[in-house]
Structure 1
Amino acid sequence: MIVQQSTTATTQAPQLCAVTLLGNLVSTPDIRYRANPVCAITEITLATHSKWLDKNTNQYKEWTSYHHIKVEGELVEQALLQAQKGDIILVHGHLSKLKTNQTEHHDIVHANFIQRFAKGYTQSINQIHCSAKLTSQPKLMLTEHGKQLCQADIVIHQHNYSHEKQCWQNSLIERSIHVWGKLAQYLAEHGQANQELMVEGKLSYASNKSQYIDVNKLHLF
């Protein structure tokens, strides 16, 4: 998965990429300041929880997802200067990547909006809506539990403002999507590489911490 950035316009129109998260702050933010221009910056980790019914045991199970979020500029000082571990944080943003060194990148959410609430338990929100283009032929398979799963790769064309470079930039964000059940069958039968689509789902993470989209609604165009 790569991010390509350019300050020039492209023939591809910008596409929708909207992420909404509501969860608990895993640790107190480490706020830093970057020079030229002076800009506050931090990376936070947000925990969201989801429950589902295990039909084999007839008991509910809970899964926790940890989302890495980049926050910069006025958002840091408006919402995170007094933030503490355990605070409830509402985030709206878009998908991006954080470069940690010359070769390593991490899939992240780049915050456009943040609001902090007092510590406590809250019903989590983990939602993503995006329009994109298929970059691979969908592959249908059966899981070890006999469920239908369809996997494919997508690319999202974004147009976002860079506080670091103080300009608008075009970026290509690549992710994989996982689609289940009858919707998986539909995507496998009708989806084609280079086809436009819109998906609604949640952010999930593989064992290597790479980010993918777990889809619950999908439209092909």
Structure 2
Amino acid sequence: MSLSDAVNKHPKSPNPQLCAVTLLGNLVATPDIRYRANPATAVTEIVLATSSKWLDKITNKYKEWTSYHHVKVEGELVELALLNANKGDIILLHGYLSNIKPKSTDKSTNHLGIVHANFVQKFEKGYTQAINQIHCSAQLTSKPKLMLTEQNKNITQANIVINQHIYNTDKQAWQTISVERAIHVWGKQAQYLAEHGDIGDELMLEGKLSYTSGVSKDQFIEVKNVHLFKGT
């Protein structure tokens, strides 16, 4: 069944929205690969580290921040790319946001938010400039709130929902999943979104995946560019 057939079969479901995540980083640990039965399917959950650097204008020194992304991989992707993967290997992957919770027992990484991979490629150990990107369309579920940081910078926070049509390999059928996330928008775009955005409006977002610094380490989207489409 094609994606268009799935959409036409469920006319009352929300319109499908874009959610594309691209990550390039290093494996934190060697994958623990398991197999589900009926049919036998390889499954693993990996943690990928991506780092970004920026210049602190106050100290005039570069700072580095590392994010740890939980990624679920299943089926042929595991066997093609991860059977011989080891800690430190460079992994390029593409996927989408999921409601699956990480299975890690480590409370420091027990955040809400996981990426479900639909493409994985492995490279040998080494250093590379990391990639952490997300492009998605979404709908505002809360009124954007503009705030001023301690450094006198504008930041707008809001909640969104992304309605995705994804292929369920277990059920071998297309289904719609709704993923809710918080977004953080900075600068002039923050002020624009706060002044013009409202519940129900459609957004197109470009940014990166980030995680709160608290115990829960909730996943949110740090927005670089936002396009606002007013609801009718």
Q: Is the 8 A contact 2:18 2:136 kept in 1?
A: yes
Tell me if 1:219 matches 2:227: yes
Alignment counterpart, residue 196 of structure 1, candidates 198, 202, 210: 202
**Identity percentage over the alignment?**
69
**SS of residue paired to 2:113:** strand
The letter for the 1-side match of 2:37 is: A
Match of 1:209 in 2: 217
Per-residue deviation at 1:164?
2.2
**SS of residue paired to 1:98:** coil
Match of 2:67 in 1: 65
Q: Is the 8 A contact 1:98 1:105 kept in 2?
A: no
Tell me if 1:26 matches 2:28: yes
Q: Distance in 1 between matches of 2:131 and 2:87?
A: 18
Match of 2:116 in 1: 110
Tell me if 1:162 matches 2:164: no
Q: TM-score, normalised by structure 1?
A: 0.93
Per-residue deviation at 1:37?
1.9
When the two chains are superposed, the root-mean-square deviation of aligned CA atoms in Å is 1.6
Q: Distance in 1 between matches of 2:13 and 2:73?
A: 29
Match of 1:51 in 2: 53
Alignment counterpart, residue 89 of structure 1, candidates 53, 76, 91: 91
Unmatched runs of 5 consecutive residues or more in structure 2: 1-6, 104-109
Residues 11 and 164 of structure 1: CA distance in aligned 2, closer, same or farther (over 3 Å) = closer
Cα displacement string for residues 28-78 of structure 1 (whole angstroms, at most 9, x for unaligned residues)? 000000012211000000000001110110011000000000000100000
**SS of residue paired to 1:220:** strand
Q: Distance in 1 between matches of 2:166 and 2:13?
A: 16
Cα displacement string for residues 152-172 of structure 1 (whole angstroms, at most 9, x for unaligned residues)? 000001011112222211100
The letter for the 2-side match of 1:195 is: D
Q: Distance in 2 between matches of 1:131 and 1:22?
A: 22
Q: TM-score, normalised by structure 2?
A: 0.88
Cα displacement string for residues 79-128 of structure 1 (whole angstroms, at most 9, x for unaligned residues)? 00000000000010000022468xx9831000010000000000000000
Match of 2:126 in 1: 120
Residues 18 and 77 of structure 1: CA distance in aligned 2, closer, same or farther (over 3 Å) = same
Q: Is the 8 A contact 1:97 1:105 kept in 2?
A: no
**SS of residue paired to 1:77:** helix
Residues 70 and 149 of structure 1: CA distance in aligned 2, closer, same or farther (over 3 Å) = same
Deviates more, 1:83-92 or 1:139-148: 139-148
Per-residue deviation at 1:146?
1.6
Q: Is the 8 A contact 2:93 2:120 kept in 1?
A: yes
Residues 82 and 19 of structure 1: CA distance in aligned 2, closer, same or farther (over 3 Å) = same
Q: Report which structure shows greater RCO (CA 8 Å, sep ≥6).
A: 1
Relative to total residues, which structure has the larger strand share, 1 or 2? Answer: 1
